[in-house]
């Protein structure tokens, strides 16, 4: 276990690689395809961040989050978000105990290692805000008492981009707290056939839990290694410049794109770049960050942090287009 601020050596990297490969193997046994989804969840776990998933229903988001929790011997909780969901339904409340003539604290489902907020944009703004303290401070406050959350702790939130009736869009403050946003795509026809083959053969059974392959202590050890991965200041500047382009698009982006960007990304985006790039390096078996780590993560780090004007939709300009333009505008170190 690393006890200093030194860069991980090869022995530590090999040990970490074994842990990561074990978790990846658990994914492969239960999830067909969805490589980007699996990678984003692993990066979130290794970097200690939260992940926002966007897709239509039925693309294995819930299954992936559950497999991740079970594979690390963690506690998994799924919260189905609805308009009548209350903050106390998430963080917990106090219940009167007549036997002791006193109030006892009942902790909510957020007190778990992996928490899935299914269709988070269907919960009210008040309920969404109840997650802010938990996601940022890693604690909840119930009746004035502070309760630390589990360690490791990770929120995986999902939202459906199609069915928007009766939803409450996430605020900028809420989306900014997600390390990455992953757009989950449809599987290929070949992957769908493999899914059906596994079901027919009885290989896939959602009632059968995933056997733990590593421990929570293993995950904490990997997180510590990730924090010590070397990232050169030139690469930190590269990440910062990518973020800065979104704040001042008129300086570097084509006019037809720049005029549609209303608000760029906050400093949390630069922090997210640094955290996620270090995790990406570890996934690649390296103890140092490369420029391609940052470029590979750019869409996932920035897409949910950009606010475009109302004319963007009619001009067919999306956050993906803006990020592509930023990558072209900033020189790679």
Alpha-carbon span 150 to 163, nearest angstrom = 33
Q: What is the residue-level pLDDT of the chain in tens, covering all 333 positions?
A: 344 457 777 788 888 989 999 999 998 888 888 899 999 999 999 999 999 999 998 898 999 999 999 999 999 999 999 999 999 999 999 888 888 888 888 899 999 999 999 999 898 888 888 887 788 889 998 888 899 999 999 999 999 887 666 678 888 888 999 999 999 999 999 999 998 888 888 777 767 888 999 999 999 999 999 999 999 999 999 999 999 999 999 999 999 999 999 999 999 999 999 999 999 999 999 999 999 999 999 999 999 999 998 888 887 889 999 999 999 999 999
Between strands 51-54 and 180-183, the pairing is parallel
Alpha-carbon span 255 to 233, nearest angstrom = 30
**What 3-state class would DSSP assign to 9?**
coil
Alpha-carbon span 318 to 326, nearest angstrom = 13
Q: What is the pLDDT of residue 316?
A: 80
Q: What is the largest CA-CA distance in the chain?
A: 70
Q: How far is CA 123 from the centre of its chain?
A: 19
Q: What is the pLDDT of residue 3?
A: 41
Q: What is the pLDDT of residue 310?
A: 86
Global confidence as pTM: 0.92
Fold that domain 230-333 belongs to in CATH: Helicase, Ruva Protein; domain 3 (1.10.8)
Domain boundaries, the chain: 230-333
- Residue 172 to residues 116, 121, 132, 177, 295: CA-CA distances in angstroms? 20, 13, 12, 9, 23
Q: What is the pLDDT of residue 2?
A: 40
Alpha-carbon span 57 to 119, nearest angstrom = 10
- The position carrying tokens 């119930």 is 142
Q: What is the pLDDT of residue 252?
A: 92
Q: What is the pLDDT of residue 327?
A: 97
**What 3-state class would DSSP assign to 51?**
strand
Cross-strand partners of 146: 141
- The position carrying tokens 């421990």 is 215
Report which of 146, 159, 147, 152 is spatially closest to residue 118, judged by C-alpha positions: 159
């Amino acid at each position: 276990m690393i006890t200093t601020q030194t860069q991980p050596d090869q022995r530590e990297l090999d040990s970490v690689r074994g842990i990561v490969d074990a978790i990846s193997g658990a994914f492969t046994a239960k999830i067909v395809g969805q490589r980007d989804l699996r990678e984003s969840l692993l990066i979130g776990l290794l970097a200690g961040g939260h992940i926002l998933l966007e897709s239509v229903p039925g693309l294995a988001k819930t299954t992936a989050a559950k497999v991740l929790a079970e594979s690390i011997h963690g506690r998994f909780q799924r919260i189905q978000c609805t308009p009548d969901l209350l903050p106390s339904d998430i963080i917990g409340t106090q219940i009167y105990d007549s036997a002791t003539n006193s109030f006892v604290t009942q902790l909510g489902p957020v007190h778990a290692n992996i928490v899935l907020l299914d269709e988070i944009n269907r919960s009210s703004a008040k309920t969404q805000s109840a997650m802010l303290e938990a996601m940022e401070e890693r604690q909840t406050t119930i009746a004035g008492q502070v309760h630390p959350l589990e360690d490791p702790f990770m929120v995986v939130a999902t939202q459906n981009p199609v069915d928007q009736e009766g939803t409450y869009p996430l605020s900028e403050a809420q989306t900014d707290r997600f390390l990455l946003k992953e757009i989950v795509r449809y599987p290929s026809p070949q992957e769908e056939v493999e899914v059906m083959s596994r079901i027919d053969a009885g290989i896939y059974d959602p009632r059968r839990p995933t056997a733990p392959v590593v421990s929570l202590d293993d995950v904490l050890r990997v997180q510590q290694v990730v924090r010590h991965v070397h990232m050169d200041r030139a690469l930190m500047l590269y990440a910062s410049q990518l973020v800065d382009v979104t704040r001042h698009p008129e300086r570097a982006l084509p006019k037809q794109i720049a005029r549609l960007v209303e608000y760029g990304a906050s400093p949390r985006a630069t922090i997210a770049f640094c955290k996620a790039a270090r995790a990406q390096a570890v996934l690649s078996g390296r103890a140092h960050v490369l420029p391609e780590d940052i470029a590979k993560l750019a869409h996932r780090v920035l897409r949910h942090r950009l606010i475009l004007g109302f004319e963007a939709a009619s001009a067919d300009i999306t956050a993906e287009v803006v990020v592509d333009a930023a990558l072209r505008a900033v020189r790679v170190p």
